[in-house]
């Protein structure tokens, strides 16, 4: 009786194993190549380099991913060579290889000495620090 039970168990296990081998599993490669639903947005896709910071284009000084980023007809600043009046104008190095971003908490260039310092005056219109790179320039995000 024990031999029959053992044989039945072995047979069931073998059939299950062969079935799994026949069916197979999806690898992680196959799982990631399946199409995803497209997200529709009316706002430009802004490049967020880290949580709480929006990337600036070092070629033009505008926020990466906006409609005005690298537009050919922009007036250039004589002092820095970036788009005149852009968030990066006279604040960042043109064509820098280092990523540059604006802090969404204060509006200053992320990592500079003024970023998120206490006691700075806030703009009544946008809530960021008055005169900061992002003051009244950060595009509205989709709600």
pLDDT at 13: 66
pLDDT at 65: 87
pLDDT at 7: 75
Nearest Cα to Cα of residue 132 among 96, 98, 108? 108
In a domain, 29, yes or no: no
In a domain, 118, yes or no: yes
Instruction: Find out whether 53 and 27 touch, Cβ atoms under 8 Å.
Output: no
Listed in sequence order, the residues at least 6 apart from 141 whose beta carbon sits closer than 8 Å to its beta carbon are: 43, 46
Binned at pLDDT 50, 70 and 90, residue 28 comes out as very low
Least confident of 50-54, 58-62, 79-83, 120-124: 50-54
pLDDT at 32: 45
Binned at pLDDT 50, 70 and 90, residue 52 comes out as confident
In a domain, 8, yes or no: no
Least confident of 12-16, 68-72, 90-94: 12-16
Tokens of 34: 């399946």
Binned at pLDDT 50, 70 and 90, residue 71 comes out as very high
Domain containing 86 equals 45-138
What torsion do the CA atoms of 84, 128, 69, 100 make, to the nearest 10 degrees? 100
In a domain, 143, yes or no: no
User: Global pTM?
Assistant: 0.61
Nearest Cα to Cα of residue 57 among 30, 89, 25? 89
pLDDT at 39: 36
Instruction: Find out whether 63 and 57 touch, Cβ atoms under 8 Å.
Output: yes
**Number of domains, the chain:** 1
């Amino acid at each position: 009786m024990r031999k029959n039970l053992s044989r039945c168990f072995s047979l069931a296990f073998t059939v299950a194993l062969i079935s799994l081998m026949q069916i197979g599993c999806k690898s992680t490669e196959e799982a990631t190549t399946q199409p995803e639903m497209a997200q529709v947005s009316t706002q430009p896709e802004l490049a967020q380099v880290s949580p709480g910071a929006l990337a600036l284009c070092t070629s033009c000084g505008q926020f990466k991913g906006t409609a005005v980023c690298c537009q050919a007809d922009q007036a250039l600043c004589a002092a820095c060579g970036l788009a005149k009046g852009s968030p990066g104008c006279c604040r960042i190095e043109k064509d820098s290889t280092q990523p540059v971003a604006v802090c969404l908490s204060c509006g200053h260039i992320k990592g500079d000495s003024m970023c998120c310092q206490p006691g700075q005056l806030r703009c009544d219109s946008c809530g960021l620090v008055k005169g900061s790179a992002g003051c009244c320039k950060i595009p509205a995000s989709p709600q």
